[in-house]
Amino acid sequence: MPQRKYISLIFSPDGGEQSFSFRLHKWQLWALLGAAVIGWILLMFGVVGAIFFARFAANERALVAENSRLRLALTKADSLQQELDEMRSMRQLMERALLVAQKKQEGTKYDSQQNTLQWLMRSSVFNTSAGLPELTKYLDDLKRRQAYIPSGLPAEGVITAKFGETGGIFKTPHSGVDILEKVGTPVKATAEGVIAKVGRDNELGIFIEIDHLNGYRTIYAHLSDVVVSAGDPIRKGDVIGHSGETGKARNPHIHYEVRYAGKPIDPLKIEETQQKNSEDSIANK
């Protein structure tokens, strides 16, 4: 009897309905079974893959959230560091300001070139046992610091020469601004500080230099006279002299100059310079 090469499948429904059957070759049956197994394996891989990618997406969202939190914390840390630097600068500023006041009480002049730290070590001004309740109050008031940063101009008038201007009478870039004024116009300090120098030379004529105790210095030149002396404490708006035509001035005007850390900067762009110095300070930390 020859061997059958196919398999018959018979389906007999309940209820006496007519049954039906069909035949499959053995290779067809094995193919169906193989397809079913492969389909089941693919289904399992799909389920496992979906679970894996769901967890991966959740972890990714968690990492993004953590990254945002860390960036926010870093931003706050930079802000706190900047505030701390400002408070330290304020403390140094107030120490120097109190030093000037103490010097004035002693009847001596403040010399900005002296070793301030050594003088403070000897001075009773900063002796904690003496108590200075106002110092803490001043240190907490950061707005006080602004009084020592130059702002505005020493007199109202037309600016005839801008910062950095070259050509004409300027063989090198102009280091300040020139303000046209008639002789005798009051010249006012643009910030609080100490008179560092009062002098006269061939270029600037009669001039005054103020140390603002925070890296800033201002120069007022071509004056007709001065009403201050080296070592005098100065408040913003105080009259320090009068405009003139001394030195190499070709007309009555005030040469006004602002320097920070020894370098001339545009007096009309002090705020931009402050912002840049702050950003550089943070970047270097």
**Alpha helices in the chain, H assignment, sequence order:** 26-106, 116-122, 133-140, 143-146, 270-283
Q: What is the C-alpha to C-alpha distance for residues 212 and 84, in angstroms, rounded to an integer?
A: 20
Question: What confidence score (pLDDT) does residue 47 get?
Answer: 85
Question: What confidence score (pLDDT) does residue 266 get?
Answer: 92
The verdict on residue 48 lying in a domain is no
The verdict on residue 102 lying in a domain is no
Question: What confidence score (pLDDT) does residue 273 get?
Answer: 57
The verdict on residue 130 lying in a domain is no
- The one-letter amino acid at 282: I
At residue 246 the predicted structure's pLDDT band, cuts being 50, 70 and 90, is very high
Domain of residue 225: give its range: 158-270
pLDDT digits (tens, 9 = 90+) for 150-194: 989 999 989 988 888 877 677 788 889 999 999 999 999 999 999
Question: What confidence score (pLDDT) does residue 126 get?
Answer: 44
Q: What is the C-alpha to C-alpha distance for residues 184 and 23, in angstroms, rounded to an integer?
A: 123
pTM for this prediction: 0.53
* Among the listed residues 274, 255, 254, 257, the one whose alpha carbon sits nearest the alpha carbon of residue 266: 257
Q: What is the C-alpha to C-alpha distance for residues 121 and 123, in angstroms, rounded to an integer?
A: 6
CB atoms within 10 A of CB 243: 28
The verdict on residue 224 lying in a domain is yes
Output the domain CATH number for residue 200: 2.70.70.10
CB atoms within 10 A of CB 146: 12
The verdict on residue 107 lying in a domain is no
Question: What confidence score (pLDDT) does residue 282 get?
Answer: 42
Question: What confidence score (pLDDT) does residue 179 get?
Answer: 94
Tell me the Cα Rg of the chain. Answer: 41
The verdict on residue 261 lying in a domain is yes
* Tokens linked to 18: 């007519």
* Tokens linked to 277: 């110095």
The verdict on residue 175 lying in a domain is yes
Provide the domain count of the chain. 1
